Structure 1
Amino acid sequence: MKLAIQGCSHGELDAIYASLLRTEREQSLQIDALLLCGDFQAIRNHSDLHALAVPQKYLRLGDFHSYYSGEKVAPVLTLVIGGNHEASNYMYELYHGGWLAPNIYFLGAAGVVELNGLVVAGISGIYKDKDYKKGRFEKLPYDASTIRSCYHTREFDVARLKAVARKQVDVVMSHDWPNTIEQYGDTKALIRKKPFFKDEIESETLGSPPLMELLQCLKPAFWFSAHLHVKFAALFKHGQASAQKTVRTAAANTNPEALDISLDSDEEEEKEPAPQAAFGNTSASETESKAEQNERSAASSTRFLALHKCLPQTPFLQIIDHPSPHDAELEARKSALNYQQRISPTLRYNKRWLAITRAFHSHFSLQYRQPHLPDPSSAALLDKIEAEERWIEQYCLAQGSTRNSGKRKQDELEGSRAGTPQGTGEGEGVEDLDVYKIQQFVRTAPAPFEPGGLSQAPPAWYTNPQTEAFCHFVGIENKINPRPPQFAPPGFHPPPHFPPQRAGEGFQAPPAHHQDHVQAEEPTADPNALAIDIDDLESDCEQDSDNFQDGGADGGGRSVLTLSEDDELHARWKEGTG
């Protein structure tokens, strides 16, 4: 399965998708899913700008509202986490995760899903010590303090992720960096690119301490981040002494951050332990079973990669070829449709994460202070999680299979199962964990072209049907996004311009807005496509990626959300321009 990873989005969805499609054309490949590592800026209308923490001069709608309204459709399944520059009111609606727009899924404040069987975890926000142990107390309208505290990572969410079994996570997405991860890569090169991080690097205060704890606990094969607007690779070997934290200098003629489209084996890794060898070559035939992948990743190392923000001539996009448990099924579905349309990998809830959500629900606090949380590794809590897993199997899987046996899903188009092979070998009832089956995208706030969409007033409260559906599915109270008792249930209407969502298949562009570049793009058809080279995204000896030149068909004349080096230098990255 081919995955694309992107750093900070900053509302530049058009450029990101255009660059991805250009990469597909130039490299003769098809990307199965896109991972966006925060600062997504899901701004639906002008009111949402009141919930976006950026300097006044950077307040703008961006591209997302076109995908939210249905004017455009994301060409590839996209997984999103939140950063520190978000429309936090909309993210709050989908605290447990949900569709921000068709084909764009938010993992929530913390979440775990299975992408084609690959276990992907995500945690949103950035670390701030004074808010870490607080509850989710923020309410609309946000003030000067809560507009920032609402995106700060909470201990509650880190504890829930720690409770995931160590051998069960393949990929972790975060906006913030794990604290001291820079010590496991080419630290000198990082300081050359970002000299204003030097003091924090030397004092070991750069990044999030809870995320480093999480990295050591989960031991994922990969960890992807953004936030600091720089490309940086590191290799964290688990089980080694702290003496491994040495600055590693790349060979003179080698770019330590150049990553190939495929991954190496651990045998190759042992021969070349330095960061520049962390991503090597392997063939597609070397796909391993999920159990073997997890066992190896848990026992060996985590490959860390941070990427830049979306700008011309910057390393903001990376493609990797990662084996997944259901690669054969995905290929069969593509073949069944003669490769004539894009087929998305399956997206399913992780059963253990659902059990953890139930087990921790009584500890979820909306108060200023978070009550004491159970130790994620305690026997009592683990026993409770096991019991909740059995509940999920009994009430979410077994009954769901009987209830839906032989029936087409409500939002599934007739004939949409044509690409799904029979007898895939997956566990009985596993289809009842399909995200598409439980949560369907519904617009809550108006799009800009609708009544109220041009209002400049602070945003209203919206109860999101997706959050209600998720809570109903797992049998918990909707604490985070309930319907105000004084209001009648709103009448929600399906968004215009696009067909119903297909379970397990890619979204198709709406006929009225069809773009041929999804299948065959002319080389100069999309001015939003940025010039990138996935084989060598950055070369220190040839150019300074932080001082790009904006020009030509691949970026000239575009209005891009940028922050000058002067802005970055005079604002702490944790709360300023990161």
Structure 2
Amino acid sequence: MASSSESFCFAAVGDVHGRMNRMVSFLQSWSKRARRDLAFVLQVGDFEPHRDEADLATMSAPARHKHLGDFADYHQKRRHFPWPVYFIGGNHEPHGYLDTHPRGFQLTENCHYLGRVGVIDLRGLCVMGVSGIHDEASFQKPHPPLSLLGTISNKAFTYFHEEDIERAMSFGRADVLVVHDWPSGIIADEDREVLAQQRRSPDADAVGNEYARLLAEALHPKLVLCGHLHKSYRGALIHASGADSQVCCLASVEQGPEAFAVFQVSPLGIQEITHLGTQESP
């Protein structure tokens, strides 16, 4: 992390699922209440930036969960994001749109997709994003070409692949790592019973994936951000060097404050100043 006397705050947001208005409203309310400005927002996937029904048709999801959402208003500039938003892809995204720019792009003012793998410097903070979820059967295969969209399952476009992990590891370091699914092995013994039978995870050992953990162990980020399970949790990965990576798992925006966290960056490091939507301590 670049040394600087500058201190600033940024927000992390869990799965949005097209509810951009709710995300913006919550963060604006927090900023006004806390009298703090946000430098930028990092979002952990399942953002769902659907411009229209054609985009929505390229998302992998049951029909009952396919909703156009709020993004069209931002794309058509009827509304705007008050701060730069940087997001990765989850397993519910319009890949017919996002995969036209797999290295990332600006969708509209203050809204940036980090790509399948993306690294960006934000005020001296090195932020890496890796899109997608793990599927062992697909992992060593190449990404399907966009030309196959509509002839194969949309789900085939939702996975990260070996080439993505290798590319991410080649960067060598990151201050913040943004992934969709949790790193495996972060659940403390005392939390195992509470985390059992969570969404998509029959037991605590099944939570997360080994490649998100591998990236954290290789890159030694100060902070790992993730979502996917619609569950708020805080954990840590202790590295062989004795350093640690704090892990912030966020719920979905529709669940309320547990989908949000705010961090302060200072010469002392990265510190969470809100938890479960509460204001920072005086």
TM-score > 0.5, shorter chain as reference: yes
Deviations 1:387-442 (A, max 9, x none): xxxxxxxxxxxxxxxxxxxxxxxxxxxxxxxxxxxxxxxxxxxxxxxxxxxxxxxx
| Contact 2:235/2:246, CA 8 A, preserved across alignment | yes
Q: Tell me whether 1:131 sits opposite 2:154 in the alignment.
A: no
Match of residue 256 from structure 1: none
> Displacement, 1:186?
2.9
> Displacement, 1:118?
0.6
> Displacement, 1:70?
1.4
Alpha-carbon separation, structure 2, partners of 1:231 and 1:532: 11
Q: Map 1:52-63 to 2 at 5 A.
A: 52-63=59-70
Alpha-carbon separation, structure 1, partners of 2:252 and 2:279: 15
Match of residue 197 from structure 1: 201
Q: Which one of 240, 244, 250 corresponds to residue 301 of structure 1?
A: 244
Alpha-carbon separation, structure 2, partners of 1:212 and 1:72: 37
Q: Using a 3 Å threshold, how does the CA distance of structure 1 residues 160 and 175 change in structure 2: closer, same or farther? A: same
Match of residue 208 from structure 2: 207
Q: Using a 3 Å threshold, how does the CA distance of structure 1 residues 195 and 210 change in structure 2: closer, same or farther? A: closer
Q: Which one of 110, 120, 126 corresponds to residue 119 of structure 1?
A: 126
Q: Tell me whether 1:49 sits opposite 2:53 in the alignment.
A: no
> Displacement, 1:138?
3.3
Q: Using a 3 Å threshold, how does the CA distance of structure 1 residues 120 and 130 change in structure 2: closer, same or farther? A: same
> Displacement, 1:112?
0.6
Alpha-carbon separation, structure 1, partners of 2:26 and 2:249: 18
Q: Tell me whether 1:30 sits opposite 2:34 in the alignment.
A: no
Q: Tell me whether 1:76 sits opposite 2:19 in the alignment.
A: no
Alpha-carbon separation, structure 1, partners of 2:152 and 2:208: 21
Alpha-carbon separation, structure 2, partners of 1:47 and 1:154: 26
Q: Map 1:61-100 to 2 at 5 A.
A: 61-100=68-107
| Contact 1:318/1:534, CA 8 A, preserved across alignment | no
Q: Using a 3 Å threshold, how does the CA distance of structure 1 residues 18 and 301 change in structure 2: closer, same or farther? A: same
> Displacement, 1:141?
5.4
TM-score by length of 2: 0.88
Alpha-carbon separation, structure 2, partners of 1:90 and 1:230: 28
Match of residue 273 from structure 2: none
Alpha-carbon separation, structure 2, partners of 1:61 and 1:7: 18
Identity %, equivalent residues: 24
| Contact 2:34/2:280, CA 8 A, preserved across alignment | no
> Displacement, 1:198?
4.0
Q: Map 1:141-220 to 2 at 5 A.
A: 142-143=149-150, 145-165=152-172, 168-183=173-188, 186-191=191-196, 194=198, 197-199=201-203, 201=204, 204-220=205-221
| Contact 2:59/2:92, CA 8 A, preserved across alignment | yes
Alpha-carbon separation, structure 1, partners of 2:145 and 2:57: 14
**SS of residue paired to 1:129:** coil
Q: Using a 3 Å threshold, how does the CA distance of structure 1 residues 226 and 532 change in structure 2: closer, same or farther? A: same
Deviations 1:514-567 (A, max 9, x none): xxxxxxxxxxxxxxxxx942459xxxxxxxxxxxxxxxxxxxxxxxxxxxxxxx
Match of residue 317 from structure 1: 260
User: What is the identity, as a one-letter code, of the residue corresponding to 1:207?
Assistant: G
Q: Using a 3 Å threshold, how does the CA distance of structure 1 residues 205 and 143 change in structure 2: closer, same or farther? A: farther
Alpha-carbon separation, structure 2, partners of 1:216 and 1:317: 25
> Displacement, 1:215?
1.0
Q: Using a 3 Å threshold, how does the CA distance of structure 1 residues 20 and 161 change in structure 2: closer, same or farther? A: same
**SS of residue paired to 2:229:** coil
Q: Map 1:303-382 to 2 at 5 A.
A: 303-323=246-266
Q: Using a 3 Å threshold, how does the CA distance of structure 1 residues 149 and 196 change in structure 2: closer, same or farther? A: closer
| Contact 1:81/1:107, CA 8 A, preserved across alignment | yes
| Contact 2:125/2:175, CA 8 A, preserved across alignment | yes
> Displacement, 1:46?
1.1
Q: Using a 3 Å threshold, how does the CA distance of structure 1 residues 85 and 304 change in structure 2: closer, same or farther? A: same
Runs of 4+ more than 6 Å apart:
none
Bigger Rg over Cα? 1
User: Could you say which structure has the higher strand fraction?
Assistant: 2
Match of residue 239 from structure 2: 238
| Contact 1:81/1:124, CA 8 A, preserved across alignment | yes
**SS of residue paired to 1:133:** coil
- Structure 1, gaps ≥5 residues long: 240-297, 326-530, 537-578
Alpha-carbon separation, structure 2, partners of 1:196 and 1:122: 22
Match of residue 222 from structure 2: 221
Q: Using a 3 Å threshold, how does the CA distance of structure 1 residues 532 and 207 change in structure 2: closer, same or farther? A: closer
TM-score by length of 1: 0.44
Q: Aligned residues, how many?
A: 267
User: What is the identity, as a one-letter code, of the residue corresponding to 1:322?
Assistant: V
User: What is the identity, as a one-letter code, of the residue corresponding to 1:159?
Assistant: E
| Contact 1:120/1:171, CA 8 A, preserved across alignment | yes
Alpha-carbon separation, structure 2, partners of 1:195 and 1:53: 17
User: What is the identity, as a one-letter code, of the residue corresponding to 1:118?
Assistant: L
- Structure 2, gaps ≥5 residues long: 1-7, 269-275
Q: Using a 3 Å threshold, how does the CA distance of structure 1 residues 115 and 59 change in structure 2: closer, same or farther? A: same
Match of residue 271 from structure 2: none
User: Could you say which structure has the higher helix fraction?
Assistant: 1
Q: Using a 3 Å threshold, how does the CA distance of structure 1 residues 533 and 45 change in structure 2: closer, same or farther? A: same
Alpha-carbon separation, structure 1, partners of 2:40 and 2:267: 12
User: What is the identity, as a one-letter code, of the residue corresponding to 1:302?
Assistant: S
Alpha-carbon separation, structure 2, partners of 1:124 and 1:324: 29
Match of residue 106 from structure 1: 113
Which segment is superposed worse, 88-97 or 298-307? 298-307
